[in-house]
Amino acid sequence: MPTPATRSDTRVRMVMRKLPHVTVLFWVLKIVATTLGETGGDLLAQTLNVGYLVSTVIFFVLLVVAVVVQLKARRLHPAIFWTVIALTSTAGTTLSDLMNRTGGIGYTGGAAILCAGLAIVFIAWWRSGQTLDVENIATFRGEMLYWIAILFSNSLGTSSGDFLSDSLGFGFSISALMLSAIMLLLLGLHYFTRVNGMLLFWIAFVLTRPLGATVGDYLSKPLDHGGLAWGTMWTSAALLAALIGLIAYQTVQVRRHPLQPLPAPTHRRTGAPQRPNGEVVLA
């Protein structure tokens, strides 16, 4: 019969997850958070007349603080994670508007620049040797690349949503329907084809941003602009309440059903061990 020492020798180092599983709840939270990002960014920059430049600076300062807290966390805390997502959306909204409107680049030019930036991030991510599986990231460098990609994705989503609704003249409701149809197509590709899951994830992640932007504009913009005239303040308040409720639900679910830890991270190509960025446990 094995002794306690023998049993302990068979245990392996595992790392607690810091990023949530990609489920239906994940996408619902993502759409609500990005819609809040659109209306929250417009509330500060337009309704409160702070301006795109100052608003971008404010949101980026808040984003940096939130990212530092997230990077220092030892395991998943839904409130922290979704705060960072919401702030990447608000910062992405004001940054995109600053480039496209104040900077005069235009929606097409802004989308092209952000698309190129996102491509560069993915190339750097691939060359870094970090895992590309967004559910299994367990290193500081991998998580940093993840958040940079998300910031570019949300900024690109803002430009693409404005491009669809304004430049192409589809309006808010038609743009939202088109994007919803594309999301359903991606869902079908995920379940019924062998298309790479990470490729589908990032396409969907980018597209949920313009979907949130068009829904946010539809709720908040005046009637003569094709919206429901809720205003940015009331729309943001309603979305914030919905986001808090969903985060509370996910927090309870994580406590009731803790996420399984990850194996200790290794370099994707060489297999060399890497320093974990979460709480290390023995399993």
pLDDT above 70 as % of the chain: 90
Asked if pLDDT for residue 14 goes beyond 90, the answer is: yes
* Mean pLDDT (whole number) for 22-34: 91
What pLDDT, on the 0 to 100 scale, is given for residue 265? 93
**Among the ranges given (1-10, 27-36, 119-128, 200-209), the one the predictor scored with the smallest mean pLDDT:** 1-10
Q: Rounded to two decimals, what is the model's pTM?
A: 0.87
Asked if pLDDT for residue 106 goes beyond 90, the answer is: no
The number of beta carbons lying within 10 Å of the beta carbon of residue 89 is 34
pLDDT digits (tens, 9 = 90+) for 150-163: 998 888 777 766 66
Q: What pLDDT band is residue 172 in, cutting at 50, 70 and 90?
A: low
What pLDDT, on the 0 to 100 scale, is given for residue 220? 79
What pLDDT, on the 0 to 100 scale, is given for residue 3? 53
Asked if pLDDT for residue 7 goes beyond 60, the answer is: no
